[in-house]
Each structure stands twice: as structure tokens, then as C-alpha cells.
Structure 1
């Protein structure tokens, strides 16, 4: 029977796909369901292939998200898909923090390059042409 104040049931478990959606790990419940059916989610190290698998407080979930593997502990079951601040209270992240990337990797990822490397920019080409006397401003 539903509780009128919170809208939740008196059960101590919730469907896996629903919780993943409530916790905002996936944009839609359908995507959460597909992830579960594909067997990409583990509950307490046990591979799950059903979206309706029940989870309870204290369970540890392991699943892929983007280019990393998420490991989270269920802290609360939730009653709705609320804002991100509310969703963050549903779980505890068990992943170690990502190591800080060296500055060279950051520079390469941002698209910046060392002066004199690679193809010259339009500004550099015009400056070179001015130097050689081929470019004139009209």
C-alpha cells in the first residue's frame, strides 16, 4: 500500500532500472532497462540481466557509464527523479578519485599547440607573406 505522504511503498526494495533513473545515471528509464537487460549491471558482484531485479539499501552496483566503470553503494531508495542534488543523496560513490592528468595531456586535449609546430595559422601565414613582400593590405 502506498504511503500518502511520500508516495513510496512500504517495501525495502526498488526496481534496478527505476533506481538508476532516479539517481540520474541514465537519461531515461528505457536506457536503464536496456543496460540491465544487456547484462552490463552487477549487484554485489552478481551479474544481472533483468531490469526488474530488486535492490535494497547497502547494495553495491557496478555498471559502465561513458568511458568509465561506476561503483556505487545504494544509500537511499528514493521516491522520484528529482534534481541532481537530490539524486546525489541516493548513492555513495566508491570509485577512487581520478588521478590528475599531466599538463601536457591537458594541452593536447584542449587543442592548443606549441608555437612553430604544425600548420601555421592564418595570422602566421599573413605575417610570413608580409615579411616576404607578397602580401599587401588594400
Structure 2
């Protein structure tokens, strides 16, 4: 493995939080660790801890924001490289692609008013919500 973006562990496994960061699902390792701790990342349909190992062939379900991915791990790397290299680390399932495209289409035609609010609504936000409800 001479390419610096293909640095693999000796046994072909890597910590799940490090893999999620290297595959560019999360911007930082601490965000990836937090998501795993909250149960937003499942490995082979089971909750795991951030130090759990992931290897090629594992099926991951990743919830991040409004999106959910189901991906199969193709290779492991602990180096965060360009997006093009990161996309070769996994393959999204056909079912996941269909669900995400349908959700994107639904969001295009109808946006949940509360989806854009962060925390408690302000007085202005409340007026806008009441106005949209009629």
C-alpha cells in the first residue's frame, strides 16, 4: 500500500469512529464518536461503541441529520483523504439509495416548518409557524 490514502491497519480492521471520519460521514472524529455513542450508527444491525472494530464486508447504518445511509464497508483506512478516495471506501445499498432519493424529493415539495429551527422557537419563529398553519 504505497499510496498515502490507502494506509490500512495490519489486521484489516479499524475503529468505527476513525473509519466514519476517514470516509467523510462526519467532519471530526469527535462528532463520529458522539454519533456512535448515541446509537446513530449500527453495525450489522447492532449498537456498538466508538472503539469497536470495522472490517471490509460489514454493513453499517448511519444516521446523520435528516439522512440515513446503509453502506457496506469495502476497505478500511485511517487516513482522511479526498472525497473521491473516501467514496471508494464504501458502497451504498440500493435500498438506501432509493430511500434517500425519495426523501430528497419529498423535501423538495414539502418542507417541515420546524426542521429549520434550532432549539426553542423565537417569537418571530412562532408567528411564522402560526401563519403557515392558518
Q: Name the residue aligned to 1:43.
A: 43
Task: Determine the structure 2 residue equivalent to 1:101.
Answer: 105
Greater helix percent: which structure?
2
Show structure 1 runs of 5+ residues with no match.
110-138
What corresponds to 1:56 in structure 2? 55
Aligned counterparts of 1:66 and 1:35: Cα–Cα separation in 2: 10
Moved over 2 A (4+): 3-9, 99-102
Name the structure 1 match of 2:80: 81
Aligned position for 1:27: 27
TM-score, normalization by structure 2: 0.67
Q: CA RMSD in A?
A: 2.4
Tell me the matched-pair count: 103
Question: What is the distance in 2 between the residues matched to 1:101 and 1:63?
Answer: 20
Quick check: 2:56–2:76 contact (8 Å CA) kept in 1? yes
**1:22–1:47 CA distance, 2 compared to 1 (3 A):** same
Higher relative contact order (CA 8 A, sep 6+): 2
What is the alpha-carbon distance in structure 2 between the residues aligned to residue 65 and residue 89 of structure 1? 20
**What's 1:12 paired with?**
12
What is the TM-score of this pair, normalised by structure 1? 0.66
Question: What is the CA-CA distance between 1:47 and the residue it aligns to?
Answer: 1.3
